[in-house]
Amino acid sequence: MKDSDQEYRLRRFWGVAIFSLGILWGFSSLVYVPEAVLTSVRGSSWLEVFVVAAGGILSLAASIRAFYHRSHATVLLLAGGVVLLAVAICGQILIPHRASGIVNLILLLLPGAIAVALGLFGKITERKRWPSLRGEG
């Protein structure tokens, strides 16, 4: 096996693995939101539920999109992640019933941070001309 073939397959593997984790994260965020609402986690706020749900939808949809058009997905992930982080931070400052406790604060910031991280990974791999995630060349 040539080194270039092995490098191609390794890059494709890592791209598929990272965006598959994005799909898994998005799905798990959408499963978490109903549980948080039904069990009313102490200190949870409507802002936290909204940010986690929006982050789940964003990560799930954009990670699936990355398998078809990585460049479009990275723009969506970067822009959406920045908006989610801004909403989370501004909400913590402006809204009186904000998330309390370190766990809830982490859950509030995590969806935006993960979307930005996925977007940066996609942007870097796009600029370095990594192979398509579907293996079509």
What pLDDT is attached to residue 36?
67
* Percent residues over pLDDT 70 in the chain: 86
Is 136 a member of any domain?
no
Q: Which parts of the chain register pLDDT below 50?
A: none
Is 132 a member of any domain?
no
Name the residue range of residue 117's domain.
3-127
Is 66 a member of any domain?
yes
Is 25 a member of any domain?
yes
Concatenating the DSSP letter of every residue in the chain gives --HHHHHHHHHHHHHHHHHHHHHHHHHHHHHHHHHHHHHT-TT--HHHHHHHHHHHHHHHHHHHHHTT-HHHHHHHHHHHHHHHHHHHHHHHHH-SS---SHHHHHHHHHHHHHHHHHHHHHHHHHHTTPPPTTS--
What pLDDT is attached to residue 77?
97
What pLDDT is attached to residue 37?
62
Is 133 a member of any domain?
no
Is 134 a member of any domain?
no
What pLDDT is attached to residue 1?
60
- pLDDT tens digits along 32-72: 777 766 665 555 677 888 888 899 999 999 999 999 999 99
What total number of domains does the chain contain? 1
- Within a 10 A sphere around the Cβ of 75, how many other Cβ atoms? 16
- pTM greater than 0.85 (yes/no): yes
Is 61 a member of any domain?
yes
